[in-house]
Amino acid sequence: MSNITLKTPEEIEKMRVAGRLAAEVLEMIEPYVVPGVTTGELDRLCHQHIVEVQQAIPAPLNYHEFPKSICTSINYQVCHGIPGEKTLKRGDIVNIDITVIKDGYHGDTSMMFFVGEPSVKARRLVRVARECLLIGIRMVRPGVRLGDIGHAIAQYAHEHSYSVVQEYCGHGIGREFHEAPQVLHYGTPGTGVVLQEGMTFTIEPMINEGKRHVKLLRDQWTVITKDRSLSAQWEHTLLVTESGYEVLTLRSGEEI
């Protein structure tokens, strides 16, 4: 517990600003996620918005040599997809993951986009993945253990015949992109870190249509489902408050 930083009121205010900016990038990019656009173009637009409009820093760029400013993960890509020449086509589902640094603090969020009209099975997977995130968020309050949150998320996914990726997880966040604790999306009730007021972390379940097993591609970043089944993910940055939670990356009009 000692390496988990509880944020001061001043730090929380900075986290709010960074979170709001990250959410705003997702709102900005939505109209551009259409058939025919390349993921590289989406990256360029987000980079420009973060740097020029928000006067902020895109955290992924050069983070452990990641070459772009956002992550774009399409269909059976689970996470950390590198934007490039890939053209989005009708029926694709894509996760866009945004992390912004403002005044030294990070805001981290991602959401799923439909490119044109998705299949019924893709729409269902994306919906259940978001519901998994909401189940986790609604449990956040002082005294709750992370094992209980992970267990509830996995149980809901399994009830809908989906699997949960275990190799990648949510994380503490603040001055650093990735801080303690690790926030697993599966777990054993009654175990794990006890939440305290002032903690800030992400919940970001990766839910697969097929088996949970994943594979890292040769680019050393892009993670795909081993069985090439669809994968969906949503992410928010959260603050543990005195009596519950605050979603620091809430988009306008979004209901939790």
Per-residue pLDDT tens digits for 55-78: 999 999 999 999 999 999 999 999
CB 106 within 8 A of CB 63: no
Answer whether residue 36 shows pLDDT above 70: yes
Mean pLDDT of 141-152: 98
Answer whether residue 1 shows pLDDT above 60: no
Tokens at residue 90, please? Answer: 């009708």
> What's the start-to-end Cα distance of the chain, in Å?
28
Answer whether residue 87 shows pLDDT above 60: yes
Of 210, 123, 212, the closest CA to residue 168 belongs to 212
Query: What pLDDT is attached to residue 11?
Result: 98
CB 79 within 8 A of CB 171: no
| Residue 237 to residue 248: CA distance in whole angstroms | 6
Query: What pLDDT is attached to residue 106?
Result: 98
Q: What is the mean pLDDT of the chain?
A: 97
Q: Is 81 exposed, middle or buried (0-12, 13-18, 19+ CB in 10 A)?
A: buried
| Residue 154 to residue 183: CA distance in whole angstroms | 13
Half-sphere exposure of 68 (CA within 13 A, CB side): 24
DSSP conformation letters of 91-138: T-EEEEEEEEEETTEEEEEEEEEESSSPPHHHHHHHHHHHHHHHHHHH
Answer whether residue 2 shows pLDDT above 90: no
Evaluated on CA atoms 162, 167, 172, 174, the torsion sign reads: negative
Answer whether residue 218 shows pLDDT above 80: yes
Mean pLDDT of 164-169: 98
Task: Please state the pTM of the whole predicted model.
Answer: 0.98
CB 166 within 8 A of CB 186: yes
Answer whether residue 84 shows pLDDT above 70: yes
Q: Above pLDDT 70, what percent of the chain?
A: 99
List the 236-240 sheet strands across, edge first: 179-183, 170-172, 200-203, 236-240, 245-247
| Residue 26 to residue 39: CA distance in whole angstroms | 14
Q: Above pLDDT 90, what percent of the chain?
A: 99
Answer whether residue 26 shows pLDDT above 60: yes
131-142: per-residue pLDDT in tens?
A: 999 999 999 999
90-103: per-residue pLDDT in tens?
A: 999 999 999 999 99
